[in-house]
Amino acid sequence: MAEGKIIKALSGFYYVKSNDTIFQCRGRGVFRKNNITPLVGDNVVFTAENDREGYIMEIKERENELVRPPIANVDQAILIFSAKDPEFSPHLLDRFLVIIESYQIKPIIVITKIDLANSDELLNIKQYAKAYEKIGYDVLLTSSKNEIGLEDIYPLLENKITVFAGQSGVGKSSLLNALQPELNLETKAISKHLGRGKHTTRHVELLEIGNGLVADTPGFSSLDFSNIEAEELTYCYPEMKERFANCKFRGCLHDKEPHCAIKEAVETGEIKEFRYNHYLLFLKEIQQRKPRY
């Protein structure tokens, strides 16, 4: 038996790369029986029936797994947001950051289409970038059209599995094409009526870019916090996580409780008010979530 990594899943087939050969594999029937689904990114043991086909026999233990997109063993997530068309949304970015932080995956923020922004819009973007950098996030400003900032992305990809994620229409496929032109990924213009792009990615696949593996994932129209409890939300905010031990009350949710270290940090400007406001919105959303039975 041989070992390899699933780099694509499509129509019930799993494409396993072992050394420099890709095998089209089926999963064992026992996986279906035990409600186990092989995922892109899985390290697997497989049997090769010939030099191109085989069966997956074993899935190695996963470091992590995402539900949407369905992918395993992710090292980092590059969250792609556009400066314009669609407009940059700190609220949506914070939603993505919370989701990624909840999986303990490193987020990197990439803001695309800076060539479309006027001077005031660009200044606004840079102010937000500075705020996120202060928290500890890497932030890159890029333009696929003008090839700005692309050289800063390659080193980040080396020897890692990276998820590219973001709202539809922000330019994920355009950025991947700019990083590796021979990919020729399909791109579509923004719908002026809806204000968002049409989905161009239909399945999850790991692409070899910059000595690493990159997953171009389907665009997201909504993100919920179904796997995050109210008490866990603080841990998804690095600037809160490092301060909440100073709150007077154990289990403080930093909302209506007195002597809260987080609220004090917001008042002094150590925590940005927009980040805290988003936290309160997310907290309320989690608290109002219908219980699961």
Distance CA 82, CA 175 (A): 11
Look at residue 270 in the predicted model and tell me its pLDDT: 97
Tokens of 260: 């809260």
In contact, 95 and 102? CB cutoff 8 Å: no
Mean pLDDT across 73-82: 95
Would the pLDDT of 113 be above 90? yes
Close Cβ partners of 147 (under 8 Å, ≥ 6 residues apart) = 178
Cross-strand bridge partners of residue 21: 18
Average of per-residue pLDDT values in the chain: 89
Question: Which range in 26-40, 51-65, 195-209, 217-231 is most confidently predicted, on average pLDDT?
Answer: 51-65
Answering whether pTM is above 0.95, one says no
Spell out where 89-160 has E strands: 106-112, 138-141
Q: Going by C-beta distance under 8 Å and a sequence separation of 6 or more, which residues neighbour residue 97?
A: 79, 107, 137, 236
Q: Measured at the alpha carbon of residue 197, what is the angle toward residues 195 and 202, in degrees to the nearest 5?
A: 150
Burial class (CB in 10 A: 0-12, 13-18, 19+), 155: exposed
What's the pLDDT tens digit per position in 191-245? 443 344 444 445 788 999 988 999 866 655 457 888 899 999 999 999 999 999 9
- Whole-angstrom distance, CA of residue 144 vs CA of residue 217: 18
Q: Please give the structure tokens belonging to residue 199.
A: 């989905």
CA pair distance 131, 231, nearest whole angstrom = 25
